[in-house]
Amino acid sequence: MTVALLQGCASTPPPPPPETAQPELRWPWLAPPARPAEPVAVLEASKLPPFDGERREVNEPLRGIQKVDGATHQKDLWARLRTGFAMPDLDNALVRRKTREYAASAEYLQRMFERSRIYLYHIVEEIEKRGLPTELALLPMVESAFNPMAYSRAQASGLWQFVPGTGKRFELKQNSWYDGRRDIVDSTEAALHYLTALHNRYGDWHLALASYNWGENAVARAVAKNRKAGKRTDYSSLRMPAETRNYVPKLQALKNIISEPSKYGVELAPIPNERYFTTVLTGRAELDVALAARLAEMRVQDFKALNPGFSHTLVRSPKHLRIVLPSEKVAVFHENLARHDRGQSASAGATRSPKVNAPRVHRVEPGDTLSAIALRYRVRLADLKRWNPGVEVLQIGQGIHLADR
């Protein structure tokens, strides 16, 4: 898949450019800790008597999320996304205007949707794990137009537009080698953590979104001011900057279009409802970007699109270096990396002799794959498969032969 990343939105047609600038967000509070639960005795299911009571189907959805029927979204991620829409709709003149503006900017929408293709499945998965409304998966469209390299005047960066201070509060590392605010996996986890905490504070998604954009202290002061004056304290009733006033309407406008694209004359190309990328531990402390892309048999620009957190052509980590690759490229990356390592040793005049006590059988451990085992013992994946014919699904404790029998 070809991925074109735009640096900022300078070349983007004016209507409607995402407003990525954010004021500094504050984090002076934490949700009140839950009371410790009483110890619960664990019962073994095998020892319980058979159930003979009345059986009833529970239809109430979890935390406002609609009941998901897997058959309805097996192929198209957009359909799965719609199923999880659960925020109250906002309907006013500003929402209708933003909807018209987006719909009239077909080229801008298509570029944004195309960039989202490689990231959206992961974001939807993480949202569903937390029982959150899937409208949140559209927030990077408002924040950054799904450009992980977007950088605002307020120094906000990444898909979710974290400013430096807030990024540090959510343990997004930032140094000369790496910026976690741009890392797809880390920044998504941080953003959903933050949005969950904001919703826990207000019990209202519109106020939570306003806080994400404007700052939770600013929203808290606006709510307190309205309450003191005997006024309503919902999103539409608060006084706020123009950027924040437009923020939720933009999200609602995108929701409207994605819910009924044909109604607005928008073509929504299907996105496969399957995992696009996988995180990979390389087993080393540093790796050249061009080499990593070549080992994965992919273009450098596509590798960078999945690993935008790295700031140099040489990626480095104090621990085991983690990279992100298309799921279909993981096996070939490990095989080519093992071959590359063997070639380096041969070119240096070195020979790698097996240790005297080297095992001839590896016992499968949690998280093992054939590719990872091949990399660990410096053997070719093809050889490992030949030595273990018929082995496809690994079982914990299973013996994997490391040489011909």
Q: Which residues does the annotation mark as catalytic? A: 143
Q: What is the DSSP string of 195-224?
A: HHHHHHHHS-HHHHHHHHHH-HHHHHHHHH
User: CA-CA distance, 275 to 324, in Å (whole number)?
Assistant: 12
Listed in sequence order, the residues at least 6 apart from 147 whose beta carbon sits closer than 8 Å to its beta carbon are 5, 6, 7, 8, 9, 115, 159
Strand pairing category for 322-326 and 314-316: unpaired
User: CA-CA distance, 208 to 233, in Å (whole number)?
Assistant: 13
DSSP 8-class letter at 136: G
User: CA-CA distance, 65 to 134, in Å (whole number)?
Assistant: 9
Query: Smallest Cα–Cα separation from 160: which of 141, 173, 175, 133?
Result: 141
Q: Where are the strands (E) in 83-242, listed by range?
A: none
